[in-house]
Amino acid sequence: MTRIDCRDISGGDAAIAEHARPAYESILKDGYAVLDNIVPATRMATLHEEFNSRYDRYLRDVEHEDSQQVGNRRYRVPIEFSGGFADPSIYANPAVLAVVRQALGPDAIIEAYRAVVSLAGAEAQHTHRDGPFLFEAAISPILPCHALTFAMPLVGMDATQGTTGFWPGSHRWKTLPEGPPPETPAIAAGSCLLWDFRLIHAGTENRTGRHRPMMYVTYARSWYRDPTAFTRAAQVRLAFGDGFLENLPAERRVLFNHLPG
Protein backbone atom coordinates (compact mmCIF):
# COMPACT_ATOMS: atom_id res chain seq x y z
CA MET A 1 0.00 0.00 0.00
CA THR A 2 1.26 3.47 -0.90
CA ARG A 3 0.47 6.48 1.27
CA ILE A 4 1.29 10.03 0.17
CA ASP A 5 1.28 12.84 2.73
CA CYS A 6 -0.19 15.86 0.93
CA ARG A 7 0.15 18.29 3.80
CA ASP A 8 3.22 20.00 2.37
CA ILE A 9 2.45 19.79 -1.35
CA SER A 10 3.03 23.19 -2.94
CA GLY A 11 4.12 24.73 -6.21
CA GLY A 12 2.53 24.70 -9.64
CA ASP A 13 0.68 21.94 -11.43
CA ALA A 14 3.88 20.21 -12.55
CA ALA A 15 5.24 20.02 -8.99
CA ILE A 16 1.95 18.69 -7.64
CA ALA A 17 1.75 16.10 -10.43
CA GLU A 18 5.28 14.90 -9.70
CA HIS A 19 4.46 14.57 -5.98
CA ALA A 20 1.36 12.56 -6.88
CA ARG A 21 3.12 10.21 -9.29
CA PRO A 22 3.84 7.48 -6.67
CA ALA A 23 0.10 7.33 -5.95
CA TYR A 24 -0.63 6.90 -9.66
CA GLU A 25 1.99 4.15 -9.91
CA SER A 26 0.46 2.40 -6.90
CA ILE A 27 -2.97 2.48 -8.58
CA LEU A 28 -1.43 0.90 -11.68
CA LYS A 29 0.22 -1.88 -9.65
CA ASP A 30 -1.99 -2.45 -6.60
CA GLY A 31 -5.21 -0.77 -7.70
CA TYR A 32 -5.34 1.84 -4.94
CA ALA A 33 -3.48 4.48 -2.97
CA VAL A 34 -4.03 6.61 0.12
CA LEU A 35 -3.58 10.38 0.07
CA ASP A 36 -3.18 11.66 3.61
CA ASN A 37 -4.01 15.17 4.83
CA ILE A 38 -5.54 16.56 1.66
CA VAL A 39 -7.75 18.88 3.76
CA PRO A 40 -7.62 19.81 7.47
CA ALA A 41 -9.44 17.45 9.85
CA THR A 42 -11.37 20.44 11.18
CA ARG A 43 -12.83 20.96 7.70
CA MET A 44 -14.08 17.39 7.68
CA ALA A 45 -15.65 17.81 11.13
CA THR A 46 -17.64 20.76 9.79
CA LEU A 47 -18.65 18.78 6.71
CA HIS A 48 -19.73 15.88 8.91
CA GLU A 49 -22.03 18.19 10.87
CA GLU A 50 -23.48 19.51 7.62
CA PHE A 51 -24.05 15.97 6.36
CA ASN A 52 -25.86 15.00 9.56
CA SER A 53 -28.10 18.07 9.27
CA ARG A 54 -28.88 17.96 5.54
CA TYR A 55 -29.02 14.20 5.02
CA ASP A 56 -30.38 12.98 8.35
CA ARG A 57 -33.21 11.07 6.67
CA TYR A 58 -30.62 8.65 5.26
CA LEU A 59 -29.28 7.82 8.74
CA ARG A 60 -31.94 5.15 9.28
CA ASP A 61 -32.10 1.56 8.11
CA VAL A 62 -34.48 2.41 5.25
CA GLU A 63 -33.98 2.42 1.49
CA HIS A 64 -35.44 5.50 -0.22
CA GLU A 65 -36.28 5.92 -3.90
CA ASP A 66 -33.10 7.95 -4.41
CA SER A 67 -30.85 5.72 -2.30
CA GLN A 68 -29.70 2.14 -2.69
CA GLN A 69 -28.97 -0.55 -0.13
CA VAL A 70 -25.48 -1.92 -0.73
CA GLY A 71 -25.13 -4.23 2.26
CA ASN A 72 -26.41 -4.87 5.76
CA ARG A 73 -27.29 -1.45 7.28
CA ARG A 74 -25.33 0.19 4.47
CA TYR A 75 -26.72 2.63 1.88
CA ARG A 76 -25.54 4.64 -1.10
CA VAL A 77 -27.13 8.11 -0.90
CA PRO A 78 -27.10 11.29 -3.04
CA ILE A 79 -25.04 14.39 -2.36
CA GLU A 80 -25.70 17.79 -3.93
CA PHE A 81 -23.03 20.24 -5.07
CA SER A 82 -24.05 22.94 -2.61
CA GLY A 83 -22.93 24.26 0.77
CA GLY A 84 -19.73 22.65 1.99
CA PHE A 85 -20.09 19.89 -0.59
CA ALA A 86 -19.54 22.47 -3.32
CA ASP A 87 -16.11 23.34 -1.90
CA PRO A 88 -13.53 22.74 -4.68
CA SER A 89 -10.99 21.50 -2.12
CA ILE A 90 -13.30 18.50 -1.76
CA TYR A 91 -14.43 17.57 -5.29
CA ALA A 92 -11.55 19.18 -7.24
CA ASN A 93 -8.66 18.86 -4.82
CA PRO A 94 -5.40 19.63 -6.67
CA ALA A 95 -3.52 16.63 -5.25
CA VAL A 96 -6.38 14.29 -6.13
CA LEU A 97 -6.87 15.72 -9.61
CA ALA A 98 -3.16 15.32 -10.32
CA VAL A 99 -3.51 11.57 -9.79
CA VAL A 100 -6.85 11.41 -11.63
CA ARG A 101 -5.46 13.10 -14.73
CA GLN A 102 -2.39 10.88 -14.81
CA ALA A 103 -4.68 7.84 -14.69
CA LEU A 104 -7.58 9.04 -16.88
CA GLY A 105 -6.21 11.89 -18.99
CA PRO A 106 -6.70 15.67 -18.91
CA ASP A 107 -10.37 15.50 -19.93
CA ALA A 108 -11.44 13.31 -16.99
CA ILE A 109 -14.94 14.07 -15.73
CA ILE A 110 -16.95 13.73 -12.53
CA GLU A 111 -19.42 10.98 -13.38
CA ALA A 112 -21.16 10.68 -9.97
CA TYR A 113 -21.19 12.32 -6.52
CA ARG A 114 -22.60 10.25 -3.67
CA ALA A 115 -21.95 8.92 -0.18
CA VAL A 116 -22.03 5.48 1.38
CA VAL A 117 -23.36 5.41 4.93
CA SER A 118 -22.50 2.43 7.13
CA LEU A 119 -24.94 2.61 10.01
CA ALA A 120 -24.12 1.58 13.57
CA GLY A 121 -23.71 -2.18 13.75
CA ALA A 122 -23.38 -2.66 9.98
CA GLU A 123 -22.02 -6.09 9.12
CA ALA A 124 -19.09 -6.66 6.77
CA GLN A 125 -20.04 -5.95 3.16
CA HIS A 126 -19.91 -8.44 0.29
CA THR A 127 -16.83 -8.26 -1.94
CA HIS A 128 -17.44 -6.38 -5.16
CA ARG A 129 -16.05 -4.14 -7.89
CA ASP A 130 -17.54 -0.69 -8.42
CA GLY A 131 -18.34 -1.58 -12.00
CA PRO A 132 -17.94 -4.46 -14.42
CA PHE A 133 -15.06 -4.94 -16.81
CA LEU A 134 -15.60 -3.07 -20.06
CA PHE A 135 -15.51 -6.29 -22.08
CA GLU A 136 -15.98 -9.95 -21.32
CA ALA A 137 -12.60 -10.77 -22.80
CA ALA A 138 -9.21 -11.92 -21.56
CA ILE A 139 -7.73 -8.48 -22.28
CA SER A 140 -10.14 -6.62 -19.99
CA PRO A 141 -8.11 -6.85 -16.74
CA ILE A 142 -5.00 -5.42 -18.39
CA LEU A 143 -6.65 -2.46 -20.09
CA PRO A 144 -5.91 1.04 -18.77
CA CYS A 145 -8.11 2.34 -15.98
CA HIS A 146 -11.43 3.81 -17.20
CA ALA A 147 -12.78 5.11 -13.86
CA LEU A 148 -11.54 5.85 -10.35
CA THR A 149 -13.37 6.06 -7.03
CA PHE A 150 -12.25 8.92 -4.79
CA ALA A 151 -13.52 8.17 -1.27
CA MET A 152 -13.26 10.57 1.63
CA PRO A 153 -14.60 9.55 5.05
CA LEU A 154 -16.33 12.24 7.08
CA VAL A 155 -15.13 10.45 10.25
CA GLY A 156 -11.96 8.49 10.80
CA MET A 157 -12.04 4.88 9.58
CA ASP A 158 -10.32 2.16 11.61
CA ALA A 159 -10.76 -1.37 12.91
CA THR A 160 -13.54 -0.33 15.31
CA GLN A 161 -15.48 2.24 13.29
CA GLY A 162 -14.84 0.20 10.15
CA THR A 163 -12.93 0.93 6.97
CA THR A 164 -12.66 -0.42 3.42
CA GLY A 165 -10.79 -3.65 2.73
CA PHE A 166 -8.90 -4.04 -0.56
CA TRP A 167 -7.36 -6.97 -2.37
CA PRO A 168 -4.22 -5.43 -3.93
CA GLY A 169 -3.83 -6.25 -7.60
CA SER A 170 -7.38 -7.60 -7.94
CA HIS A 171 -8.20 -5.04 -10.64
CA ARG A 172 -6.10 -7.38 -12.81
CA TRP A 173 -7.88 -10.57 -11.69
CA LYS A 174 -10.89 -12.15 -13.33
CA THR A 175 -12.04 -13.61 -9.98
CA LEU A 176 -11.07 -13.39 -6.32
CA PRO A 177 -9.11 -16.50 -5.27
CA GLU A 178 -9.75 -18.17 -1.92
CA GLY A 179 -7.56 -17.27 1.00
CA PRO A 180 -5.82 -13.90 0.76
CA PRO A 181 -7.03 -11.44 3.40
CA PRO A 182 -7.70 -7.83 2.42
CA GLU A 183 -5.61 -4.84 3.35
CA THR A 184 -7.65 -2.62 5.70
CA PRO A 185 -6.00 0.81 5.94
CA ALA A 186 -6.94 3.22 8.71
CA ILE A 187 -7.96 6.55 7.15
CA ALA A 188 -8.06 9.71 9.25
CA ALA A 189 -10.63 12.42 8.62
CA GLY A 190 -9.07 14.74 6.03
CA SER A 191 -7.39 11.87 4.17
CA CYS A 192 -8.77 9.89 1.25
CA LEU A 193 -8.59 6.78 -0.87
CA LEU A 194 -8.33 6.48 -4.64
CA TRP A 195 -8.95 3.14 -6.34
CA ASP A 196 -9.41 1.63 -9.76
CA PHE A 197 -13.10 0.94 -10.46
CA ARG A 198 -12.23 -2.71 -11.12
CA LEU A 199 -10.53 -3.32 -7.75
CA ILE A 200 -12.22 -5.91 -5.52
CA HIS A 201 -13.05 -4.40 -2.14
CA ALA A 202 -15.59 -4.44 0.69
CA GLY A 203 -16.58 -2.26 3.61
CA THR A 204 -15.71 -3.77 6.98
CA GLU A 205 -18.13 -3.99 9.90
CA ASN A 206 -19.02 -0.96 12.00
CA ARG A 207 -18.62 -2.07 15.60
CA THR A 208 -19.68 1.25 17.09
CA GLY A 209 -22.98 2.95 17.88
CA ARG A 210 -22.20 5.74 15.36
CA HIS A 211 -22.86 5.90 11.65
CA ARG A 212 -19.88 6.07 9.28
CA PRO A 213 -20.50 8.29 6.23
CA MET A 214 -17.98 8.22 3.39
CA MET A 215 -18.53 10.62 0.51
CA TYR A 216 -17.23 9.63 -2.89
CA VAL A 217 -16.69 10.94 -6.38
CA THR A 218 -16.51 8.76 -9.48
CA TYR A 219 -13.93 10.25 -11.84
CA ALA A 220 -14.06 8.74 -15.31
CA ARG A 221 -12.91 9.04 -18.88
CA SER A 222 -15.26 11.41 -20.68
CA TRP A 223 -17.16 8.62 -22.49
CA TYR A 224 -17.80 6.34 -19.49
CA ARG A 225 -21.10 6.04 -17.58
CA ASP A 226 -21.49 3.55 -14.73
CA PRO A 227 -24.03 0.99 -16.01
CA THR A 228 -24.90 -0.60 -12.65
CA ALA A 229 -25.27 1.96 -9.84
CA PHE A 230 -28.29 3.95 -11.06
CA THR A 231 -31.17 1.58 -11.63
CA ARG A 232 -34.08 3.89 -10.66
CA ALA A 233 -35.03 7.28 -12.08
CA ALA A 234 -34.70 8.97 -8.68
CA GLN A 235 -31.09 7.83 -8.31
CA VAL A 236 -29.35 10.75 -9.99
CA ARG A 237 -25.64 10.72 -10.73
CA LEU A 238 -25.11 14.45 -10.15
CA ALA A 239 -27.23 17.07 -8.38
CA PHE A 240 -26.44 20.79 -8.29
CA GLY A 241 -27.36 23.70 -6.09
CA ASP A 242 -28.59 26.94 -7.64
CA GLY A 243 -25.95 28.62 -9.79
CA PHE A 244 -23.26 26.00 -9.20
CA LEU A 245 -22.51 25.16 -12.83
CA GLU A 246 -23.08 28.70 -14.08
CA ASN A 247 -20.47 30.11 -11.70
CA LEU A 248 -17.74 27.54 -12.21
CA PRO A 249 -14.38 28.84 -13.45
CA ALA A 250 -13.08 27.26 -16.65
CA GLU A 251 -10.45 25.10 -14.91
CA ARG A 252 -13.18 23.28 -12.95
CA ARG A 253 -15.90 23.40 -15.61
CA VAL A 254 -13.89 20.80 -17.58
CA LEU A 255 -14.90 18.23 -14.96
CA PHE A 256 -18.52 18.65 -16.15
CA ASN A 257 -17.90 18.98 -19.90
CA HIS A 258 -20.04 15.91 -20.52
CA LEU A 259 -23.15 17.79 -19.35
CA PRO A 260 -25.30 19.87 -21.68
CA GLY A 261 -25.08 23.65 -21.49
- Full residue range of the structural domain in which residue 220 is found: 3-256
pLDDT at 1: 82
pLDDT digits (tens, 9 = 90+) for 122-133: 999 999 999 999
Q: Assess contact for 83 and 102: CB atoms under 8 A.
A: no
Positive or negative: CA dihedral 106, 237, 126, 49: positive
Mean pLDDT across the chain? 95
Name which of 226, 250, 249, 247 is nearest 238 in CA terms.
Answer: 226
Could you say which DSSP state residue 122 is in? P
**How confident is the model over 74-87, as a mean pLDDT?**
98
Residue 231 domain flag: yes
**Residue 75 burial class via C-beta count within 10 angstroms: exposed 0-12, middle 13-18, buried 19 and up:** buried
Residue 146 domain flag: yes
Tally the domains of the chain.
Answer: 1
pLDDT over 80 at 179, yes or no: no
φ, ψ at 230 (rounded to 5°): -125, 85
Confidence of residue 16 (pLDDT cuts 50, 70, 90): confident
pLDDT over 90 at 145, yes or no: yes
pLDDT at 180: 86
pLDDT over 70 at 11, yes or no: no
Residue 261 domain flag: no
pLDDT over 90 at 14, yes or no: no
Q: Assess contact for 214 and 157: CB atoms under 8 A.
A: yes
Helix axes 13-29, 94-104, angle to 10 degrees: 60
pLDDT over 80 at 197, yes or no: yes
Q: First and final CA of the chain: distance in angstroms?
A: 41
**How confident is the model over 60-86, as a mean pLDDT?**
98
- The pTM of the full predicted model, rounded to 2 decimals, is 0.96
Residues forming a β-bridge with 201: 128, 166
**How confident is the model over 37-58, as a mean pLDDT?**
97
